[in-house]
């Protein structure tokens, strides 16, 4: 992809700075029920290089700087401390490397404890169909069947029967996909399932209490004419089909979806400060209290007390956020909580067995340089009991838009993402609480 193509993407793929009319995308799709993402829940190198091309493109675009050229967002230097690990205090340790480099791939913890890594962009910026399995017992990645369709910025959701639903995403031409497929851990193969009514990428996917999957929002179309959408649909594993359900009150992308204890789903961000609730019993969305801060590409984590932690992301001016807030399902309102030590997005958020939340990696706008958008190695913990974030050991490798999965033994697997130079990574590491 040449520099002119990059500039076209910067100017047309996402909203103009300060606007939420076409919300920022979620490059790091967040997991639901130990499936991955944001999300996201985001990819590529700098103009003039061939490797990880879309990584920097997506990062810069996601900052809302679509009206600026590449040179305007790069600075000649970046603080080394933000991207250098601290081995002495680190609770992270390296584990086996993946067979294929990936960014915007998904990670799903299977019932037997292994983790399925699938899709994303490789080190050449190519959308892939590759997949592999991480075995926590051996600390190694091994082969498994490939997806039927190459895709990135898709969703991967663990179904109640142990299979994994892979849905939507962008294909190799940056066109949203309607297709979906199922991964069967017993056979190690993917097979097609029913297609969505609407092609979409960067959508949310939420496992409901009755086993169905709620697919909502995302981006539809082909770059550079993608648009955020409000439509939603339900996947029924029993029939292998998607069916329409009520639409959201606002078109959203870069939002988060979190199933609450009562079965409803909180949809937040990606459209200013607004938030809404999906009720599976009625199949409708309704407005709930607004967030304190307009944000997109944030993380959202269900806490043990039933509240939802919303942290970081990008505000309506393109500023990376350190602030966080809590949603109370009982009152339908958001309230402030402690801020992160570092403003970040493109990070991961994982609930630990003790109820704390691990925030790891990501990046901030000040760290973009001519050699890439330098990511963070730093990590921090949110303690729901104190409402405060505190530093924890840094990762062994700085990475942005990695994928993360909680393991059955309490550790957290962090894999892939983009490095200092905008290259997709094969490396992986483990966090020991």
Q: Splitting the chain (433 residues) into consecutive groups of 10 residues, what average pLDDT does each group show?
A: 32 31 32 31 27 36 31 30 41 97 97 98 93 98 98 97 97 95 98 98 97 97 90 98 98 96 97 96 98 97 98 92 98 98 96 97 70 85 98 95 97 94 92 96
Q: What is the pLDDT of residue 324?
A: 98
Q: What is the pLDDT of residue 316?
A: 85
Buried b (16+ CB within 10 A) or exposed e, 233-257: bbbebeeebbeebbbbbbbbbbbbb
Q: Which residues pair with 259 in a beta bridge?
A: 265
Question: Rounded mean pLDDT of the chain?
Answer: 82
Q: What is the pLDDT of residue 223?
A: 78
- The two structure tokens encoding residue 421: 């130079």
State which residues form the domain around 287.
3-428
Separation CA 156–CA 235 (nearest Å): 13
Neighbours of 195 (CB within 10 A): 16
**CA quadruple 168, 174, 175, 178: dihedral, nearest 10:** -10
Three-state secondary structure of the chain? CCHHHHHHHHHHCCCCCCCCCCCCCCCECCCCCCCCCCCECCEECCCCCCCCHHHHHHHHHHCCCCCCCHHHHCECCCCHHHHCCCHHHCCEEEECCCCCCEECCEEEECCCCCEEEECCECCCCCECCCEEEEECCCCEEEECCCCCCCCECCEEEECCCCCEEEECCECCCCEEECCEEEEECCCCEEEEECCCCCCEECCEEEECCCCCEEEECCEECECCCCEEECCEEEEECCCCEEEEECCCCCCECCCEEEECCCCCEEEECCECECEEEEECCCCEEEEECCCCCCCECCEEEECCCCCEEEECCECCCCCECCCEEEEECCCCEEEEECCCCCCCECCEEEECCCCCEEEECCECHHHEECCEECCCCCEEEEECCCCEEEEECCCCCCCECCEEEECCCCCEEEECCECCCCCEECCEEEECC
Q: What is the pLDDT of residue 421?
A: 79
Separation CA 250–CA 285 (nearest Å): 10
Structurally, how many domains does the chain consist of? 1
- The two structure tokens encoding residue 198: 């609407």
Q: What is the largest distance, in Å, between two alpha-carbon atoms of the chain?
A: 55
C-beta separation of 180 from 151 below 8 A: no
Please report whether residue 344 resides in a domain. Answer: yes
Condensed to tens digits (0 to 9), the pLDDT of residues 266-298 reads 999 999 999 999 999 999 999 999 999 999 999
Domain holding 249: CATH number?
A: 2.120.10.80
Q: What is the pLDDT of residue 372?
A: 64
Condensed to tens digits (0 to 9), the pLDDT of residues 205-264 reads 999 999 999 999 999 998 788 999 999 999 999 999 999 999 999 999 999 999 999 999
Neighbours of 364 (CB within 10 A): 25
Separation CA 29–CA 405 (nearest Å): 12
Q: Which residues pair with 425 in a beta bridge?
A: 102
Please report whether residue 322 resides in a domain. Answer: yes
Please report whether residue 433 resides in a domain. Answer: no
Instruction: Write down the pTM of the prediction.
Output: 0.83
| Angle subtended at Cα 281 by Cα 277 and Cα 285, rounded to the nearest 5 degrees | 25
Please report whether residue 238 resides in a domain. Answer: yes
Which one, of 115, 116, 123, 129, lies nearest residue 170 by Cα? 129
Please report whether residue 404 resides in a domain. Answer: yes
Which one, of 363, 359, 269, 374, lies nearest residue 63 by Cα? 363
């Amino acid at each position: 992809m040449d520099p002119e193509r990059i500039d076209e993407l910067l100017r047309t793929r996402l909203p103009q700075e300060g606007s939420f009319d076409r919300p920022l995308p979620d490059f790091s799709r967040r997991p639901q029920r130990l499936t991955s993402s944001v999300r996201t829940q985001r990819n590529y190198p700098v103009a003039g290089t061939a490797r990880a091309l879309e990584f920097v493109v997506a990062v810069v675009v996601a900052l809302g700087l679509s009206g600026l050229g590449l040179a305007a967002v790069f600075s000649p230097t970046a603080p080394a401390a933000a991207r250098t690990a601290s081995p002495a205090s680190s609770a992270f340790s390296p584990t086996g490397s993946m067979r294929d480099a990936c960014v915007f791939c998904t990670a799903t913890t299977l019932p037997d404890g292994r983790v399925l890594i699938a899709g994303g962009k490789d080190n050449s910026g190519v959308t892939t169909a590759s997949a592999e399995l991480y075995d926590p017992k051996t600390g190694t990645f091994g082969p498994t069947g490939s997806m039927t369709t190459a895709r990135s910025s898709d969703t991967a959701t663990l179904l109640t029967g142990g299979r994994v639903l892979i849905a939507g995403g962008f294909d190799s031409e940056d066109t949203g996909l309607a297709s979906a497929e199922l991964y069967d851990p017993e056979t190690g193969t993917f097979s097609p399932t029913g297609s969505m009514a609407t092609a979409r990428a960067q959508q949310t996917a939420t496992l409901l209490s009755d086993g169905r999957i709620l697919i909502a929002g995302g981006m539809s179309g082909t770059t550079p004419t993608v648009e955020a959408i409000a439509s939603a649909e339900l996947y029924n594993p029993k029939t292998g089909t998607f069916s329409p359900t009520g639409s959201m009150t606002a078109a959203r992308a870069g939002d988060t979806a979190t199933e609450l204890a009562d079965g409803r789903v909180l949809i937040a961000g990606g459209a200013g400060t607004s938030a809404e609730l999906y009720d599976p019993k009625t199949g409708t969305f309704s407005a709930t209290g607004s967030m304190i801060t307009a944000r997109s590409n944030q993380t959202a984590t269900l806490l043990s007390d039933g509240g939802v932690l919303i942290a970081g992301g990008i505000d309506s001016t393109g500023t990376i956020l350190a602030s966080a807030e809590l949603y109370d399902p009982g009152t339908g309102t958001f309230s402030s909580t402690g801020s992160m030590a570092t403003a970040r997005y493109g990070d991961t958020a994982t609930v630990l067995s003790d109820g704390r939340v691990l925030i790891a990696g990501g990046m901030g706008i000040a760290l973009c340089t001519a050699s890439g958008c330098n990511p963070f190695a730093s990590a921090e913990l949110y303690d729901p009991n104190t409402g405060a974030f505190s530093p924890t050991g840094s990762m062994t490798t700085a990475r942005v838009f990695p994928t993360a999965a909680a393991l059955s033994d309490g550790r957290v697997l962090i894999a892939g993402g983009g490095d200092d130079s905008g290259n997709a990574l094969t490396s992986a590491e483990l966090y020991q609480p």
